[in-house]
Structure 1
Amino acid sequence: MAKIKISQNPTFKAKVAIPRVGADPVSVEFEFKYLDRLALAQYFDKWNGASEQHIKQVQEDGLTWQESTAAEIAIQVGQLKDIVHGWEFDEKLSDESLTALCTTCVGAPQAVLAAYQTAYQPARLGNS
């Protein structure tokens, strides 16, 4: 009988279609940090809390579009820092390169988060 370990690898890879303005998306391989269900839920709580705080700040403080966008980019950079371990981009993974990605590629943060979440979805079994 084959031996299979229950524990997961600490990282996994997935392709992400990074949207490009006026061009087709570019497929980039990302290496993600594996999180167990409880750790993943903790991050979702953290991210939801940051989003709720951002919405509250926009409503109460009347932020300008630029201030609101800068705050949203900061939230997205934090989300990607939590889950991305490496990538295929020429630029080395860093706070600055994550900020550049979130600033220049409007749909990139959502594409990365969606690819990460898709990796956690149970695989379809059989032909159903």
Structure 2
Amino acid sequence: MASFKIAQNATFKAEVEIPRVGFELIKVEFEFRYRDRKELSKYYDKWNAERDAAAKESMKDGATWEQATERQIALEVGQIKDVVVGWSFDEAFTDESITELVTTCVGAPAAVLDAYQAAYAVARRGN
């Protein structure tokens, strides 16, 4: 009988299909930080609260699209920093490159978070 440990590795890797305007999707390997169910729930609560606050701020009189976009970019940069520890882009994994990815590849944050969540879904199905 094969043996294995219950404890999860601190990180795991998954390919993410990054959408690019005018080009085909590119597959990029991301290294994600493992979170147990309790830790994950805290992050989802945090992200939902940040999203709600950004939405309320965006609805204020005089709010501009530019301000709303800046808030959304900040939220998405934070989300990526919360779950990703590295990637296989040519650019180093830095705050600046994360911001560049989120700013220039509009669909990238959703693709990264979807891949992260999908890794957990596959793990649930496999057990």
Q: Does 1:37 align with 2:37?
A: yes
Given residue 123 of structure 1, which amino acid in structure 2 is its aligned partner?
R
What 5-or-longer segments of structure 1 have no aligned partner? none
Shift of 1:63: 1.6
Given residue 125 of structure 2, which amino acid in structure 1 is its aligned partner?
A
Correspondence for 2:25: 25
Q: TM-score, normalised by structure 2?
A: 0.94
Q: Does 1:105 align with 2:105?
A: yes
- Give me the whole-angstrom Cα distance separating, in 2, the residues matched to 1:71 and 1:44: 17
- Give me the whole-angstrom Cα distance separating, in 2, the residues matched to 1:7 and 1:102: 32
Identity %: 55
* Number of corresponding residues: 125
Shift of 1:61: 4.5
Given residue 30 of structure 2, which amino acid in structure 1 is its aligned partner?
F
Shift of 1:15: 0.2
CA offsets per residue over residues 20-77 of structure 1, 9 Å max, x none?
1011100000000000000000000000000000011111254211111011000000
- Give me the whole-angstrom Cα distance separating, in 1, the residues matched to 2:125 and 2:28: 22
Given residue 2 of structure 1, which amino acid in structure 2 is its aligned partner?
A
Q: TM-score, normalised by structure 1?
A: 0.93
CA offsets per residue over residues 89-110 of structure 1, 9 Å max, x none?
0111111000000000000000
What 5-or-longer segments of structure 2 have no aligned partner? none
- Give me the whole-angstrom Cα distance separating, in 2, the residues matched to 1:99 and 1:5: 37
